[in-house]
Amino acid sequence: MERTLVMVKPDGVQRGLVGPVISRLEARGLKLVGLKLVRISRELASRHYAVHQGKPFYEPLLAYITSSPVVVMVWEGSHAIAVVRNTMGVTRPDEAAPGTIRGDYALDVGRNIVHGSDGSETATFEIPLFFREDELIAWDRSVDPWILE
């Protein structure tokens, strides 16, 4: 099983879209193993977005992500990273397909509702930024035989 980090960003929390995001990921068959409402500190934001340091959008990104609470989650499932990425839609909402989170709920790249790890190395880096291992719950779902081969 693969795990990935998903974040409902400040715009998604402020617009009351946490529920729809969770519903879409659950409907895909992914299993929620961690969930928190957090206010990200500048220090944590700097670590999370370190890859973008020096880019023109870095400082506005830090200001935005620390401006309001976010919901961070860890989802588990077969090909969880790809499934989440496809469910979210491409980064630029104007290019995101209808039926995706960004295609249905977002207009601007700077307010695109959600973040998801873009690969296994990224997920391995991002998850411990927000969750201790003992905060992630391993559990059995009775519907798994109907979702997983």
Write out the catalytic residue numbers. 115
Contact by Cβ (8 Å): 113, 17? yes
Which strand (E) or helix (H) includes residue 72?
Answer: strand 70-77
Contact by Cβ (8 Å): 28, 104? no
Contact by Cβ (8 Å): 85, 112? no
Contact by Cβ (8 Å): 20, 89? no
Query: Cα–Cα distance between 137 and 128 in angstroms, integer?
Result: 14
